Structure 1
Amino acid sequence: MYTSVVTNLYLNNFLQIELQASAQSSTILVVILLLLVFLSFSISGSQAAIFSLSEKDIDVLKTKQQPAARRIIDLLDEPKEVYASMIISKTVLNICLIILTNYLINQYTPPEYLHSVYSIAGKWLLIAFFIIFPLEIFPRVWARQNSLRFAYEWPVLVFIVEMIHLALGRISRGIVTVADGMGKILGTDNAEAYSLQEFDEAIDIQTDDEVSPEEKNIMKSIVKFGKISVKKVMRSRLYVSGIEYETTFDQLIEKIKDVRYSRLPVYKGDLDEIEGILNTKDLIPHLYEDNFDWHSVIRPPYFVPDSKLIEDLLLEFQKKRMHFAIVVDEFGGTSGIITMEDIQEEVIGDIKDEFDEDELNNKKVDEKTYIFEGSTMLRDVCKTMHLPVETFDDVRGENESLGGLINEISGELPNQGSVVRSGDFEFTVLEVERNRVKKAQIVIMLQ
């Protein structure tokens, strides 16, 4: 009897230890489950928030100095890779959640019900509802409705995405490289360009004979209008005429007579220090005054980022009743200027007034040879040569002018007479001025 009592005591102690260990193990698993739920929720919401940011939201983030804003901008520098990292992590997390949830449910399900059809169906419905709704649908809907707030005001979420991408970056880049290669082989990367080309062809074919080529070009330009950024249309600072703040009134009048512009930026020292905009018509009542203080008629400048879409800028010009803006880069330096006329010309073509000089230096030599100023925008080069505007997108880098394109292809400063080739095009530098291409010749090698 003594032996039986001792045996029972040992068994009871053993069972208690097992139960305690099981309870501790379950607690740890529940904590791990909650951590996985938080990570899955964070990734789903961050993915929806970051990739639903509009151009305006991104412009706002570029003006912020907080680490969270800089992290988002850095992540968007390689969107495909970041997206791939988030998809990989989400897949792994969902698999772990399914396995862990299934295990915990089995732990608290009576053995006689484990293999019941209704029990199995209910268990998987519960797992599906537990993962799909709270961890997939809800955070995505919430984040899309509050994309900027979700991405920027909760920096811990962006930090999580950044750490995941840091861990999975190499794998993601490999996947993106393979996907891009397949896209090039199958032609899916050019789907948008093909659709625009098909639209252009449809305009050419289906419009009647009474429609002039100019009207057809206007219809084509309207389709592409919403995708053009300020950087592609602006006049570079290299070709901007401005007024130094310390200029005397007499010198100002002579400058205006020389440049013949209705609006001019006023700067101190250089164009990175813009003080305002001078509207020359404001000087008319004071033309015959001696030593008139022309600084009193300077108007406040209006700054826009070079990444802004001209469609949005046109609406702002209309609301603010403005015609002139200073374009700034991501560091706040002056990139150039853009006017209402520049935007209108993207739709209806060049607008010439009595003061505009003909661009005699841009000319067509023959069907395969053209000569352009180095400052000519690549969009204008393509239009003149009757090529798609995206012809040089793969080789131009961040450059928007012909001179910049030649520098990008050659990889060095230009020399007069230098010849560089890219694809079906041969570029010859005809004139160089202060380490920049002043004039170049383009020859189409294959037609």
Structure 2
Amino acid sequence: MSSVLLALAGLLCAAVAAVLSTAEAAFMRLSRREAEDIAERQGSRAVQKILLEPVPHTVALQLWRWIFASAAVVLVTVAVLFLLDDVALAALVAALVLLAGGVVLATLSPRRLGRAHHLVVSAATARLVRGLRLALGPVPVVLARVGARIAPGTDDAYQGFFDDEEFREFVARASETDILEDAEAELIQSVFDLSATRVRAVMVPRTDMVTVDTGATLPEVMTLFLRSGYSRVPVVRGSADDITGMVYLKDVAFLEHQLRAGEVSDEFRGRTADTITVDEVQRDVRYVPESKMVSEFLSELQRESTHVAVVVDEYGGTAGLVTLEDLIEEIVGEIVDEYDVESAEVEELEDGRRRLAARMAVDDFADLFDLDLDDEDEVDTLGGLLAKTLGRVPIAGSEVEIDGVVLRADRLEGRRNRVSHVLAWEVEGRRGARAGLGTEDAPEVFAHEAQDRREAGAEAPTPGPTTATGSAAQHDAAQHDADQHDADQHDAGEQDAQDRHDPHDQDHRTDRQEQR
């Protein structure tokens, strides 16, 4: 009789463990909005309380599940031992019984059942889960904190039973099994990345902004529109830090059409295009801090029906310009229309070298060469990474080595000779390891790279840790150029800086001289 009771108790414990496993899977699938709907329909606050502290309740469920599962194994084993006097035979029979129970549970799959019917299961077991959590007192909280210390980031970042990381994993698996197309999976991942991207990462830098001075006439600003290809240009007074408004191509074109047709308003009646300045047609400027998240700012632009904004830094100065197209490109990728001049960010050269744009994002550079640069938060671009590692303003031929990848300043542009392109290649040891080359192939590769360095007037590097190479003469020249750059910047002002970075800089500078 006692063996039968023990067996029934073991089966009961196994059933409770299965129910707890089903509840855990259901709450892992439950979202916060679904929990609020359940609480509103049934008048129960248990689900919401569970979601307020998801980690302790998860720990409590796991503890109770293991307790009942262990109790089921022990009870079944003892029951079989009471029936059979032979210990070895009892152990074999108990193992077969437990194996059969495992097969049944694997077939029914409580966790799969909980995920498939997570709303019903969550509503039915919410009070049970809440009671089991309270029964353990502070134990789940203590265990959660210990787990957070052992594996940092598993406590505070875990805001709900169904988190972003699990959803990303589902998307990746769906893409691997062809449930989702690769393009669709990348689109979903881009939407998640959008919430962690700041406006600073997608804006057009201040040095690349195309602006127009106050007092410019309609023909002058129309010429700037046609030469630059832009449809919205900031109006500045002296420098990019003093922006008075934003002028739109449609406003200028419409006003010129009205002047030709003689249908202008009383404000412009009797005047010509040469007597109307950009100050009279400019609109108000929308400002945004560079630290704002792209996802939030995108929603604001949609509500305000605005397509462009000026980005300001923490000191109130102009950091750059951002458009609605820049934000959308973070989701769908680069958008190029009929008037855009698309320049290659990566140019493959012979001998395994690449010519990279200095404006390339550090993350893209790290992905290109399979590097771990997660700690490089101080710079956003490849040019900035080169200057930071070098420790001074780079000039043509300035060279550094970062984790087995050599960077050399290649092309300069503008009157201040800023780096526009960077040559990048892997050192012979790293390239050989990645390409499967043997040690006998390394000297030949190294000799070939040394020859390239001698032709470029640089000294061949020796294998070793991350270094910044260059002669003393190059260092003095770099310092002299940096000082000269600062003096030029003080004399020329910010307007010449933006003119120099205009895609049609030569024509634009000629136009600026004519305006003066």
TM-score (norm 2): 0.45
CA distance in 2, matches of 1:210, 1:366: 39
CA distance in 1, matches of 2:227, 2:401: 39
1:298: which partner in 2? 282
2:327: which partner in 1? 343
1:209: which partner in 2? 178
* Secondary structure in structure 2 of the residue aligned to 1:338: strand
1:263 to 224, 232, 238: 232
**Does 1:282 pair with 2:262?**
no
2:357: which partner in 1? 373
**Does 1:441 pair with 2:409?**
no
TM-superposed CA distance for 1:443, in Å, is: 2.5
Alignment CA distance shift 1:248-1:387 (3 Å): farther
2:393: which partner in 1? 413
- Within 5 Å, which residues of 2 pair with 1:33-432? 188=152, 203-207=171-175, 208-209=177-178, 211-288=180-257, 289=259, 290=272, 291=274, 292-360=276-344, 362-365=346-349, 369-382=353-366, 385=368, 391-397=372-378, 399-432=379-412
Equivalent AA in structure 2 for residue 439 of structure 1: H
Equivalent AA in structure 2 for residue 422 of structure 1: I
TM-superposed CA distance for 1:188, in Å, is: 4.3
CA RMSD of aligned residues (A): 3.1
Structure 1: runs of 5 or more not aligned: 1-181
CA distance in 2, matches of 1:429, 1:200: 38
Equivalent AA in structure 2 for residue 304 of structure 1: V
Given that residues 251 and 281 in structure 2 are in contact (C-alpha distance below 8 angstroms), is that contact kept between their aligned partners in structure 1? Answer: yes
Given that residues 244 and 269 in structure 1 are in contact (C-alpha distance below 8 angstroms), is that contact kept between their aligned partners in structure 2? Answer: yes
1:95: which partner in 2? none
Cα shift readout 1:400-446 (whole Å, capped 9, x = no counterpart): 12111110111111121222112243212111332522100222454
Equivalent AA in structure 1 for residue 300 of structure 2: E
Equivalent AA in structure 1 for residue 293 of structure 2: L
Alignment CA distance shift 1:427-1:196 (3 Å): farther
CA distance in 2, matches of 1:432, 1:197: 42
TM-superposed CA distance for 1:394, in Å, is: 1.6
Equivalent AA in structure 2 for residue 271 of structure 1: A
Equivalent AA in structure 1 for residue 395 of structure 2: N
Cα shift readout 1:319-340 (whole Å, capped 9, x = no counterpart): 2111111001111110001111
CA distance in 2, matches of 1:422, 1:188: 28
Given that residues 222 and 249 in structure 2 are in contact (C-alpha distance below 8 angstroms), is that contact kept between their aligned partners in structure 1? Answer: no
CA distance in 1, matches of 2:398, 2:170: 41
* Secondary structure in structure 1 of the residue aligned to 2:354: strand
* Secondary structure in structure 1 of the residue aligned to 2:338: coil
CA distance in 2, matches of 1:362, 1:280: 32
Cα shift readout 1:264-283 (whole Å, capped 9, x = no counterpart): 11111010001111111111
* Secondary structure in structure 1 of the residue aligned to 2:195: helix
* Secondary structure in structure 1 of the residue aligned to 2:233: strand
CA distance in 1, matches of 2:154, 2:355: 29
Given that residues 355 and 424 in structure 2 are in contact (C-alpha distance below 8 angstroms), is that contact kept between their aligned partners in structure 1? Answer: yes
Range with bigger deviation, 433-442 or 359-368: 359-368
2:463: which partner in 1? none
Alignment CA distance shift 1:268-1:405 (3 Å): same
Given that residues 396 and 408 in structure 1 are in contact (C-alpha distance below 8 angstroms), is that contact kept between their aligned partners in structure 2? Answer: no
Given that residues 396 and 405 in structure 1 are in contact (C-alpha distance below 8 angstroms), is that contact kept between their aligned partners in structure 2? Answer: no
TM-superposed CA distance for 1:350, in Å, is: 0.6
TM-superposed CA distance for 1:227, in Å, is: 0.8
* Secondary structure in structure 2 of the residue aligned to 1:227: coil
Given that residues 415 and 429 in structure 1 are in contact (C-alpha distance below 8 angstroms), is that contact kept between their aligned partners in structure 2? Answer: yes
CA distance in 2, matches of 1:365, 1:198: 40
* Secondary structure in structure 1 of the residue aligned to 2:301: helix
1:27: which partner in 2? none
CA distance in 1, matches of 2:282, 2:307: 15
Given that residues 363 and 371 in structure 1 are in contact (C-alpha distance below 8 angstroms), is that contact kept between their aligned partners in structure 2? Answer: yes
Given that residues 215 and 277 in structure 2 are in contact (C-alpha distance below 8 angstroms), is that contact kept between their aligned partners in structure 1? Answer: no
CA distance in 2, matches of 1:254, 1:279: 13
CA distance in 2, matches of 1:414, 1:226: 34
Equivalent AA in structure 2 for residue 307 of structure 1: S
Alignment CA distance shift 1:354-1:380 (3 Å): farther
TM-superposed CA distance for 1:252, in Å, is: 1.1
Alignment CA distance shift 1:201-1:431 (3 Å): farther
Equivalent AA in structure 2 for residue 418 of structure 1: S
Given that residues 431 and 440 in structure 1 are in contact (C-alpha distance below 8 angstroms), is that contact kept between their aligned partners in structure 2? Answer: yes
CA distance in 2, matches of 1:206, 1:369: 36
Equivalent AA in structure 2 for residue 228 of structure 1: T
Cα shift readout 1:352-398 (whole Å, capped 9, x = no counterpart): 11111121353244896432221233345456x2868xx4342352x
Given that residues 410 and 423 in structure 2 are in contact (C-alpha distance below 8 angstroms), is that contact kept between their aligned partners in structure 1? Answer: yes
Alignment CA distance shift 1:424-1:190 (3 Å): farther
CA distance in 2, matches of 1:387, 1:220: 20
Equivalent AA in structure 2 for residue 316 of structure 1: E
CA distance in 2, matches of 1:435, 1:187: 48
